[in-house]
Amino acid sequence: MPARPATRSGSTPIRLEPPKARSARRSRTDSSRSPSASRCCTSSFRRRAGRSSTTASTAFAFRLRSPRVGVSAGAFASRRSSLPGPGSASSSKRRSSARAWRSLSASPSSSCSHCLNKPDRGRTCLLPCRGLEAGGGGRVKRFALVFALVVVLAGLVVAAASALAFSDASDFGCKTPNDVVWTCPTGSVGTPYSVQFKARAGCSDPVGGGPYVKYSVASGGLPPGLSLSSSGLLSGTPTQAGTWEPWIRVEDYVENWCSDTAHTERQFIFNVLTGLDLEPSSVPPGTVGASYSATLSVTPAGTHTFAVTAGALPPGLALDASNGAISGTPTTVGSYPFKVQVSDTDGRSISREYNINVANPIAISPPALQGQRAGRGEVGIALSGQLTATGGNGAFTWTVAGGTPPTGVTLGADGTVSGTPSVAGNYTFTAQAADVDGRTATVNIPLTVASNLSFKTLALKPAKVGKLYTAKLKTIGGVAPVKWKILGGKLPRGIRFDKKLGVFAGTPKREGTYRVSVQATDALGVTSKKTFVLVVKT
């Protein structure tokens, strides 16, 4: 819809109007002319007051000192008689008897800027004179004073010729594809939005929305989340997607001064799109010397441009502006905060802050477990130990990432290995260390659990007097090496026992039956005892 024409309301007993003025037709598409302007600002004026009217006038040329004054070229009829006061249009007690009105002519200029008469003084127009100069005499100061005095006493002010209207749409960022409905910049849900409307002419100082102009929504609705101030600032954060087509009104307004308010309206289109969503909310940490990869994604799908608008990526990494991929190999330890902004072809944008912590790789020291030797433990023998790591960032959290520890043995979150194996077997489990950034490292821990040490040799073979004799004791289970010891008893004369090898050897000298107690001790200190009987025959 086009702009609605400017109008003025109110009636008064005293007015200035052009003689033989023709009424101008106004359409909804005409926003550049004002009825009050054509009524108040013409080349010649006469006065009507009650039933009497005088039209005697004297031509007097003048020009405007200030370029801000806006009056069309022409002459104004003026007279000194029958000037009404505030209370009556025909009062003769409050007439100005000191000066006669003059016919005045003015040069064209910009817009008016002042309203002087109060609501009870009659027709409101705009005063185009601030510092008038007589065109043909030396009565400049006197003329300006008398003119202003007569205007105030009579309750009459001269209006500007230009009408109140919105400025060109481009002045406040909107477009006029067909000059019917003006389209303003597209907004998006969740993104702050603002448009500053501007007007020209009318009772506005400065032009574009000073204290003499106010704005309002005439009809229709604004996008949810936006509001229009009286100064013409449409602002807020849209909360709902859609299209809105409100009529915006701008009107002359001077509190306690301008009573005959002029206004104009125009329809605008506001399109609000669904806001962009940038994921993920965080990116993984980096490790010096290790390849890095992370991808930022945006919904809804479309053509997007990614850019780092604050901070910086870690040295060695880069952001792909077309697809949001962050890749490279970090080279320097540190914490790197940065902000990424994504924009699309519809003018939408979204920003998110990220941080990449870069640390040295995690290194796990080989486990040192008590209760085992060379990766071998034994049923019933408690295991204990502490896993340690270096590098990374902050304290480590330990977990079993694969395999299974021996039955009865556990890995604590602090890296402690503890427990007593209860089942013999070969085991391998993977311990993982993770730092506060989620950086990880693993180590495999193999462990063989042996059964308890016991004697495999159950009895000694007989010996013969005078014959060489050897007998080796054997064990099962336990952890090698095994040490031997004679706890008690007596060996036959000529027979010795090797404590390292567990072997009886020699040549018996005498027949008889001999009893001897032997103890075996393995590498973990586990012992086993047994009493053997050695029979020597002839």
pLDDT in tens, 322-371: 999 999 999 999 999 999 999 998 888 899 999 999 999 999 988 888 88
What count of other Cβ atoms lies within 10 Å of the Cβ of residue 377? 26
Instruction: Give the pLDDT confidence score for residue 6 in this predicted structure.
Output: 44
Q: Which residues are CB-contacts of 456 (< 8 A; sequence separation ≥ 6)? A: 474, 475, 476
Per-residue pLDDT band for 164 (boundaries 50, 70, 90) equals low
The reply to whether 289 and 261 lie within a common domain is no
- The encoded tokens of residue 37 equal 């302007």
Residue 104 pLDDT greater than 50, yes or no: no
User: Do 95 and 80 touch, CB atoms closer than 8 A?
Assistant: yes
- Report, as an integer, the average pLDDT of 253-278: 74
* 182 Cβ contact list (under 8 Å, min separation 6): 169, 174, 175, 176, 266, 267, 268, 269
In a domain, 288, yes or no: yes
Please determine, for residue 97, whether its predicted confidence score (pLDDT) is greater than 80. no
Is the pLDDT score of 441 beyond 70? Answer: yes
- Please determine, for residue 36, whether its predicted confidence score (pLDDT) is greater than 60: no
Same-domain check for residues 446 and 510: no
Q: Closest Cα partner for 303 from 291, 330, 321, 315?
A: 321
Q: Whose CA is closest to 41, among 211, 156, 166?
A: 156
The structural domain count of the chain equals 4
* pTM: predicted TM-score of the whole model, two decimal places: 0.50
CA atoms within 13 A on the CB side of 224: 7
**259 and 177 in one domain?**
yes
Domain that holds residue 337: 277-359
Q: In the predicted model, what is the mean pLDDT of residues 187-213?
A: 69
Does residue 90 or residue 475 have the better pLDDT?
475
335 occurs within a structural domain? yes
379 and 422 in a common domain: yes
Q: What's the average model confidence in pLDDT over 364-380?
A: 90
Alpha-carbon gap, residue 209 to 160, rounded angstroms? 17
| Mean pLDDT value of segment 420-446 | 94
- Classify strands 317-319 and 325-328 as parallel, antiparallel or unpaired: antiparallel
pLDDT at position 346:
83
Residue 173 belongs to some domain of the structure: yes
For residues 412 and 459, membership in a common domain is answered with: no
pLDDT of residue 163: 57
CA distance 449 to 421: 7
Integer Cα distance of 252 and 36 in angstroms: 12
Tell me, what amino acid is at 103? Answer: S
pLDDT of residue 17: 35
- Kindly state whether residue 409 falls inside one of the protein's structural domains: yes
Domain assignment present for residue 112? The answer is: no
The amino acid at residue 96 is S
> Quick check: is 251 in a domain?
yes
Tokens, residue 358: 């870069």
Query: Is the per-residue pLDDT at 232 higher than 80?
Result: yes
Tell whether 289 and 374 lie within a shared domain.
Answer: no
Mark which of 430, 450, 470 sits at the end of a domain.
Answer: 450
Domain membership of residue 42 (yes or no) is no
Neighbours of 324 (CB within 10 A): 19
Q: How confident is the model at residue 379 (pLDDT cuts 50, 70, 90)?
A: very high
Number of H helices, E strands in the chain: 2, 46
Mean pLDDT, all residues of the chain: 73
* pLDDT grade for 58, boundaries at 50, 70 and 90: very low
pLDDT for residue 269 is more than 70: yes
The average pLDDT across 496-512 equals 95
Alpha-carbon span 22 to 43, nearest angstrom: 13
Whether 8 is in a domain gets the answer no
Q: Are 247 and 219 in contact (CB under 8 A)?
A: yes
Q: Is there a single domain that holds both residue 221 and residue 234?
A: yes
* Residue 14 and residue 84 in contact, taking contact as beta carbons nearer than 8 Å: yes
Question: The domain spanning residue 397 has which CATH number?
Answer: 2.60.40.10
| Single residue among 308, 327, 359 that ends a domain in this structure | 359
Query: Which residues, at least 6 apart from 48, have a Cβ–Cβ distance to it below 8 Å?
Result: 14, 15, 17
Query: For the chain, how far is it from start to end, CA to CA, in angstroms?
Result: 136
State percent of the chain over pLDDT 90.
Answer: 52
For residue 442, give Cα distances in angstroms to 365, 374, 383, 414.
Answer: 10, 20, 20, 14
Per-residue pLDDT tens over the stretch 445-474: 999 999 999 999 999 999 999 999 999 999
109 pLDDT exceeds 60? no
Q: Which of 450, 480, 509 is a domain's end point? A: 450
The total number of residues shown for the chain amounts to 538
Interior CA angle at 37 toward 34 and 40, to 5°?
150
Query: What is the percentage of the chain residues whose pLDDT exceeds 70?
Result: 63
| pLDDT at residue 187 is higher than 60 | yes
- CA angle 310/314/319 to nearest 5° reads 65
